[in-house]
């Protein structure tokens, strides 16, 4: 068994696609119109056949927005992405205007930082030492 797909709930699919591709560096994998929304996924450019991240509209379920709001208010990231060097990625993303809620912190075997994805989510980036 392996993880094939994960998702983040986003308030605007087009804004999310721009952020996740133009800023974070993912590439679009799938885009299938589904009425008002789209089945929209991105992948790592280093693993185009790897795990897909679905950019799911948060307006489709009444619990989505309260869930996202509660996580963000408590400072809890919705998901975590691996990077080679958290400090370098923090500097790169901050230079692009990304807002961080947690600067890089050494936590034993990993270093983490937490960013705001502009779509209502906190996302953790981490590297292993």
CA angle 12, 118, 44 (to 5 degrees): 85
Instruction: Give the model confidence (pLDDT) of 39-77 as tens digits.
Output: 999 999 999 999 999 999 999 889 999 999 999 999 999
Identify the architecture of domain 5-128 in CATH.
Roll (3.10)
For the whole model, what pTM was predicted? 0.94
Instruction: Give the model confidence (pLDDT) of 69-122 as tens digits.
Output: 999 999 999 999 999 999 999 999 999 999 999 999 999 999 999 999 999 999
How far is residue 62's CA from residue 48's CA, in Å, rounded to a whole number?
A: 32
Contacts of 13 (CB under 8 A, 6+ apart): 37, 38, 40, 55, 57
């Amino acid at each position: 068994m392996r993880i094939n797909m994960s998702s983040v709930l986003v308030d605007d699919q087009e804004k999310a696609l721009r952020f996740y591709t133009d800023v974070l560096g993912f590439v679009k994998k799938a885009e299938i119109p589904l009425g008002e929304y789209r089945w929209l996924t991105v992948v790592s450019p280093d693993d185009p056949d790897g795990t897909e991240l679905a950019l799911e509209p948060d307006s489709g379920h009444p619990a989505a927005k309260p869930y996202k709001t509660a996580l963000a208010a408590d400072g809890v990231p919705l998901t975590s992405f691996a990077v080679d060097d958290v400090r370098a990625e923090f500097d790169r993303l901050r230079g692009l205007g990304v807002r961080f809620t947690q600067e890089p912190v050494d936590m034993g075997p990993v270093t983490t930082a937490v960013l705001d994805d502009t779509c209502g989510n906190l996302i953790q980036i981490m590297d292993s030492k």
